[in-house]
Structures are given as structure tokens and as C-alpha cells.
Amino acid sequence: MREAIALARANIDAGGRPFGAVLVRDGEVIARAVNRIHETGDPTAHAELLAIREAARALGSPRLDGCVIYASGHPCPMCLAAMHLCGIEAVYYAYSNEEGEPYGLSTAAVYAQMARPPQQQSLPVRILMPDGEAGLYEAWQHGRG
């Protein structure tokens, strides 16, 4: 955790946001990353996602079962979803959403939106299936052998 916080502090000095992440498996650091939104303009360039991407490349697998992430701040819903999808075993964070709120660094409002049924969220999420379109998932299943 101290390394994740040190990465976050160094990222502040580099002009970035105060977020760092360290991904570990079996006591070995697999990946380290900082928030790179300021460098890339990519709103998904969060420390946790970048650490996940680096670890997946290093391990040669999209599955990160048995891995743990240490993050300087409470993971946002996007990062947490990615952790679920790739099999992260646990996540630990140092600074809470409540601590980040006065600085505009909390994602509590996004979590509140995500807790609502899709039809009640502020971002419209609706099905739109074109006429005559069918079989996409079946084609994928058959193409896999």
C-alpha cells in the first residue's frame, strides 16, 4: 500500500491525479501504474485499469485470478467492474470516497447511479436491436470451435 501511495504522490509532482495502484500475485509485484488521464486525455486511464492491462500482458492472460490490487484511492465503478471481470481476488485502498469528496475525487455519485435499475439511471441505457439482426453470439460460439 505504501508503494501505491508513493506512486500517487509522485504522480502529483508529474502533474497528474493522486492515484497509484500496485497489482500483486503470490507476494510478487506484477504491475504498477498511476493515473495517466493528464498525459493521454483518455478518461479510462485510471491507475487500476492500467495496472490490470500491464499485468494481463505480463502474465499473458486476461484472467488475473489470485491477484490483489493495492490502490491509493477507492476504486471507481469502472475499475471495480474490471476487477470483477478479470478475477481479481481482493482490493485494498487507502483513501476513501468521503476523503476525496472535498477535492472532487469521489465517485460516490457514480456508485449511487449504478445502484439504480438501468431504466432509472441518469444515463439512458436502452435496447435497440435492428430488424433482421440475430445470431451474433451464436456466431461467436460456433467460431470458437
- Rounded to whole angstroms, how far apart are CA atoms 63 and 143? 21
Helix (H) and strand (E) counts in the chain: 7, 4
Pairing of strands 67-73, 90-95: parallel
Give me the count of residues in the chain: 145
Catalytic member of 3, 48, 99, 138: 48
Neighbours of 36 (CB within 10 A): 20
- State yes or no: is 98 an active-site residue: no
Residues assigned a catalytic role: 48
